[in-house]
Amino acid sequence: MSTASRVQPIRSYALRHYGNLISVEEPIFDGANEMWIAELKADYPVILHDDQSDRRFVKFLSMKKLGTLALSKDFRFLTVSTTREKCAETIRSFLKMWRDRAEMIVVRASSDQLVRIPQFRHFFTPVDLITVNLLEKDTISEEEIKKDRPRGRQAKLRQYLKLLEGLDLVHRIEGGYTYGNMFTMLRKEIKDEDKFREAILSYVIRERYPALREVFEISRLEPTIHVDSCYYKTALEAEEALYLTKGSIYRHFKAIYGRINPLELTLILKSLEKVDALCRKDKYYYGNEVLFDKMLEIKDSLPTLAPPSI
Amino acid sequence: MVLEYIKENFDTNIPSPTVEDIAKIIKTDETGTELDDVSKINEKLLKATLSVKFEPKYLCALREIEDEIGEGKPVIVWVWLSDDRGGGCGHSVVITDINRLEGVIGYNDPIFGEREEEIGTFMSRWDNININRILIKVKIEKRPQRLIPEYAERKVEEESSS
């Protein structure tokens, strides 16, 4: 039997059982169980809109390994196939995976810009405190950590010291801490002290965003990253720097993350614009070209959306 | 490792399949294992006096690991193991303890033994793009009824009492 003739009945079954959004890979015959197995996949359509040109178009998100379709030797549908419900559940997981990926791409590409936002700086005061002290006098002693500091703040500082230790920015020594290899390396590259402090924060956010979000629970940073991600996720899907109004960004935010106060959204967009994380022309927001190119590069290096193989 | 832990800590006659048996059941080959196939091991455990089920999930939160540990259950996660050439592979460990305040996470590693790691480093290895925060929950519950004679006995008791 030719490839085309064995694919056709399987495609027909896929269409009938899963609808026209799901397609099948080339089927493989499982000799041991005497059945045809074909992996299910999808090119999930995303409708996009550029507000300036009023252009509407469709792009697709590739999804693999949504499940398997099993047919008997004589092409009868077998119940060991993945159910429609399971397929829909997997697609929902992949959309969440894509949302998380977009966020990670945005953080990786624009951490240098994000740390220039005052609210960000405020949350990383402990990191800045450690950096400034190590720049001043090479070490931070246990006594200094304890002196005139409530226990809660001592614990917080130790948490950050541990985090920086994991990044090789600080190094534990007897009776305290000193700078680590990464600290020295960055210092060699960046002579200006203010820029160096920014570079340390940027490095911490870029490399440890999952921990900052879940362990340090810096939830107040999230709206800024989410708003930025709302623009760039859409642009990454379009693979071009779209022009979006505040209203569109608001709608994207609501669809992806839920509610946001419009006054807060205006403030966040202003902050992002101020540090060049986003650009603005009249009422339209568009991506920073350099950052967006970097994001596209990261996106292209990532594997297709699929369940992890272990 | 997890089955041994359940056997030692819970009153159950759970079977002890060999590593080769497990690999065969969950269809592990040179390319690895499909996450969905992990739960195929559950069929092998049906005869245990306790109901033991492995539930693979991905895109999980740290809080979910903490909840499982809080209930005294073993938690299997996958982390990225980098090599010197910029590549790497997924590697499973069994989490034993999380201490947010001290910023450390403890686990049993089948290669390196008992370990403690800075939590930020662990999170980045768990959140790796190839791993996607995989977590395998082990559901250990009392089985309401298991054998036909038991079922029949209970039914007779119910009927005689009514």
Neighbouring C-alpha atoms within 13 Å toward the C-beta of A221? 23
The Cα–Cα gap between B54 and A104 comes to: 30
Tell me: do A209 and A133 sit in the same domain: yes
Q: Would you state the pLDDT for residue A1?
A: 56
B34–A309 C-beta distance less than 8 A: yes
Q: With 70 as the cut, is the pLDDT of residue B70 above it?
A: yes
Give the pLDDT band (50/70/90) at residue B29: confident
Which domain covers residue A85, as residue numbers? Answer: 3-45+61-96
The Cα–Cα gap between A161 and A159 comes to: 5
Of A217, A246, A271, which closes a domain? A217
The Cα–Cα gap between A272 and A136 comes to: 32
Domain count within chain A: 2
Does A224 reside within a domain? no
Q: In terms of CA atoms, which chain B residue is nearest residue A299?
A: B129
Residues of B in Cβ contact (< 8 Å) with A212: 120
The Cα–Cα gap between B126 and B120 comes to: 10
Q: Would you state the pLDDT for residue A221?
A: 84
Neighbouring C-alpha atoms within 13 Å toward the C-beta of A24? 27
Q: With 80 as the cut, is the pLDDT of residue B15 above it?
A: no
Burial A192-228 (b: 16+ CB within 10 A, else e): eeeebbbbbbbbbbbbbbbbbbbbbebeebebbbbbb
Give the pLDDT band (50/70/90) at residue B145: low
For residues B139-153, average pLDDT: 69
Select from B79, B59, B75 the least CA-distant residue to A89. B59
Of A173, A190, A217, which closes a domain? A217
Tokens of A305: 């959306």
Burial A79-114 (b: 16+ CB within 10 A, else e): eebbeeeebeebbebbbebbbbbbbbbbbebbbbbb
Q: Would you state the pLDDT for residue A5?
A: 66
Does A254 reside within a domain? no
The answer to whether residue B118 neighbours chain A at the CB level (below 8 Å) is yes
CATH of the domain at A164: 1.10.10
Q: In terms of CA atoms, which chain B residue is nearest residue A206?
A: B124
How many Å lie between the alpha carbon of A54 and the closest alpha carbon of chain B?
35
Select from A124, A74, A105 the least CA-distant residue to A235. A105
CB contacts under 8 A, B 37-56 vs A, are 38
A210–B126 C-beta distance less than 8 A: yes
Looking at 3.30.70.1070, 3.40.50.300, 3.90.70.10, 3.30.1360.70, the CATH number of the domain B2-161 comes to 3.90.70.10
pLDDT digits (tens), chain A, 310 positions: 565 666 787 888 888 888 888 888 888 888 888 888 889 999 999 999 999 999 999 999 999 999 988 888 877 777 778 888 999 999 999 999 999 999 999 999 999 999 999 888 888 999 999 999 999 999 999 999 988 888 888 898 999 999 999 999 999 999 999 999 999 999 999 999 999 999 999 999 999 999 998 888 777 788 999 999 999 999 999 999 999 999 999 999 999 999 999 999 999 999 999 999 999 999 999 999 999 999 999 999 998 888 887 7
Does A300 reside within a domain? no
Give the pLDDT band (50/70/90) at residue B72: confident
The Cα–Cα gap between A241 and A231 comes to: 9
Residue B124 has its nearest CB partner, among A93, A210, A307, at A210
Contacts of A104 (CB under 8 A, 6+ apart): A209, B127, B129
Helix, strand, coil fractions of chain A, as percent rounded to 5: 55, 20, 25
The answer to whether residue A301 neighbours chain B at the CB level (below 8 Å) is no
Does A258 reside within a domain? no
The Cα–Cα gap between B121 and A163 comes to: 8
Select from A274, A273, A299, A292 the least CA-distant residue to A284. A273
Sign of CA dihedral A142, A148, A151, A154: negative
Give the pLDDT band (50/70/90) at residue B25: confident
Query: pLDDT tens digits, residue range B85-138?
Result: 878 888 889 999 999 888 999 999 888 889 999 999 999 999 988 888 999 988
In angstroms, what CA-CA distances link A122 with A164, A183, A261, B120?
17, 21, 22, 20
Does A50 reside within a domain? no
Does A213 reside within a domain? yes
Q: What are the boundaries of each domain within chain B?
A: 2-161
Does A66 reside within a domain? yes
Q: With 80 as the cut, is the pLDDT of residue B30 above it?
A: no
Give the pLDDT band (50/70/90) at residue B47: low
- Angle separating helix axes A246-256 and A222-238, nearest 10 degrees: 100
Does A129 reside within a domain? yes
The answer to whether residue A28 neighbours chain B at the CB level (below 8 Å) is no
Q: One-letter amino acid identity for B127?
A: D
Q: What number of other Cβ atoms are within 10 A of residue A242's Cβ?
A: 24
B62–A309 C-beta distance less than 8 A: no
Q: One-letter amino acid identity for A195?
A: K
The Cα–Cα gap between A289 and A74 comes to: 55
Residue A207 has its nearest CB partner, among B34, B124, B130, at B124
Select from A35, A18, A37 the least CA-distant residue to A27. A37
In sequence order, what are the beta bridge partners of B142?
B50
Contacts of A29 (CB under 8 A, 6+ apart): A35, A36, A37
Residues of B in Cβ contact (< 8 Å) with A309: 31-35, 90
Q: Would you state the pLDDT for residue B144?
A: 63
Q: Would you state the pLDDT for residue B71?
A: 87
- Helical H segments across A190-221, by residue range: 193-214
The Cα–Cα gap between A205 and A67 comes to: 36
Q: With 80 as the cut, is the pLDDT of residue B1 above it?
A: no
Compare A300 and B147 and report the one with higher pLDDT: A300
Chain pair A-B, CB pairs under 8 angstroms: 87
Of A158, A191, A217, which closes a domain? A217
Helix, strand, coil fractions of chain B, as percent rounded to 5: 35, 30, 35
Contacts of B84 (CB under 8 A, 6+ apart): none
Q: Would you state the pLDDT for residue B147?
A: 65
